[in-house]
Amino acid sequence: LQMAFVLVSTYSARLPELLARRVGINEALAFDAWCEAFLRPQCFSYSTRLLVFAFTPIVLIASFLLVGIGVRVRRWLVATASRPTCAEAVDTVTRGMFDLTPAGLVLVFCFVPSISAAIFRTWSCQAYDDPEQDDNMILYMRRDLSIECGSDDHKSTEHLAYFLIAIWPLGSLLLYGSLLIPCYKPLQAKTPTALTRATAFLHREYELTF
């Protein structure tokens, strides 16, 4: 689904009807759709739009986890008559995080394609004739024609893009890996744990062959 979204948004590829409908859901989360609704290009630079678009899902995911923790802690405090121990407190917080981890993973999965595409569009430039020199061409960013490619403004946008690459395209892979590696032995032994249940979105479609 992520690859199909990139094919449509970047290369305007035509997809089968069923897959096109599913990609349409991701298009609602696309950078252009958000900018059209909330961040007008006439009012905000590309760097600002990209920064807001990249960090909004992170804030949402953090909010989900905090809500899960808050609900668990409240239930725990109401049900506990004796003085709580540190181990019980840590266990409650951990369970609260696991409660809404599935929703967070779904958000990451949905936003990775559109945010990654927006990040890499930093290096998408269009050539235009130089009005001062007939034989010369000037490159401008396709998504922000006020920024000349290679200029100081463009270099600052590139620095932001490098930072966001570490958070989203690379960071999402590290996140998935760090969650799945501890799940290997429990899944192999067919002994579900709180972590394997919370991360079922990442592995439930796979079948063990050993």
C-alpha separations of 122 from 142, 152, 164 in Å: 8, 13, 11
Query: Once rounded to an integer, what is the mean pLDDT over residues 93-122?
Result: 89
Average pLDDT, stretch 109-132?
A: 87
- pLDDT of residue 209 exceeding 70, the answer is no
- Residue 82's contacts (CB-CB under 8 Å, 6 or more residues apart) are none
What angle do helix axes 17-27 and 86-120 make, rounded to 10 degrees?
Answer: 110
With bands split at pLDDT 50, 70 and 90, how would you rate the model's confidence at 14? Answer: low
Q: Is the pLDDT of residue 33 over 90?
A: no
Task: Check residues 36 and 68 and name the one with the higher pLDDT.
Answer: 68
Tens of pLDDT, residue by residue over 176-208, are 999 999 999 998 888 999 999 999 989 888 776
Least confident of 58-62, 124-128, 202-206: 202-206
Output the pLDDT for position 65.
92
